[in-house]
Amino acid sequence: MSADGPLQDAFAHDRLIEAVALRRDREAFAQLFSHYAPRLKAWLIKSGAPPAAAEDFAQDAMLTVWRKADLFDARKARAATWIFTIARNRRLDMLRRDARPLPMPEIALAETESLRPDDILSASQDAERIRDALSRLKPDQVEVLRLAFFLDSPHSEIARRLDLPLGTVKSRIRNAMIKLRLILEPSEEAPR
């Protein structure tokens, strides 16, 4: 994220997806691709995929962005969240170790999740709160959360990479999640 204006950047990406949706704007798509494809590739490489497979994944996810752009609603999710969710669904599909050629309905499509009416905060406010919340976690908590998002088999892989006992990793993730919930949902019941 550039230092001069992360929020402006995020909004610019929202506008680009909308341009793809409204006008099939190829220049807008190229800009989105240039920003997000290298990040999607980085994600897959971090999760252990070979570079070529990681690049295929990025291409595939971005093609889905092109196809589904008209389902994007900037009021419900900002660009990064929406693209993350698309990639998350593709990744879940890839993790499936089931070779049956059955029609496999996708699980929890991005658009149904992002169109829920009960989102109270606007996506941009939410993004700001999430950045703030992450800045209030300890660095080692942010680190395990990041790894939990990017690795395929989070706990054991995180333990291996950080050279920590599995129990330590589990309790660190749990504590990070409890703190995150306290910051983001302070009015909710006590965290679990």
Restricting to residues 42-101, name those near another protein by CB under 8 A.
Answer: 42-43, 45-46, 51, 54-55, 58-59, 62-63, 66-67, 77-85, 87-89, 91-92, 95-98, 100
Nearest distance, CB of residue 101 and another protein, angstroms: 11
Task: Report yes or no: 32 and 62 within 8 Å, Cβ to Cβ.
Answer: yes
State which residue, 108 or 163, has the beta carbon closest to another protein: 108
Residue 16 makes contact with another protein by CB under 8 A: no
For the chain, how many residues are written? 192
Interface size with another protein, residues (CB under 8 A) = 87
Nearest distance, CB of residue 160 and another protein, angstroms: 15
Tell me how far apart the alpha carbons of residues 164 and 31 are, in angstroms, rounded to a whole number. Answer: 40
Query: ∠ CA(31), CA(32), CA(33), 5° rounding?
Result: 90
Nearest alpha-carbon partner for 79 in 119, 130, 114: 114
Q: Which of residues 97-156 bind another protein (CB under 8 A)?
A: 97-98, 100, 102-105, 107-108, 112-114, 116, 118-119, 123, 126-127, 130-131, 134, 145-146, 148-155
Task: Report yes or no: 157 and 151 within 8 Å, Cβ to Cβ.
Answer: yes
Q: Using CB under 8 A as the criterion, what x/- string covers residues 17-46 for binding another protein?
A: ---------x--xx--xx-xxxxxxxx-xx
Task: Report yes or no: 157 and 147 within 8 Å, Cβ to Cβ.
Answer: yes
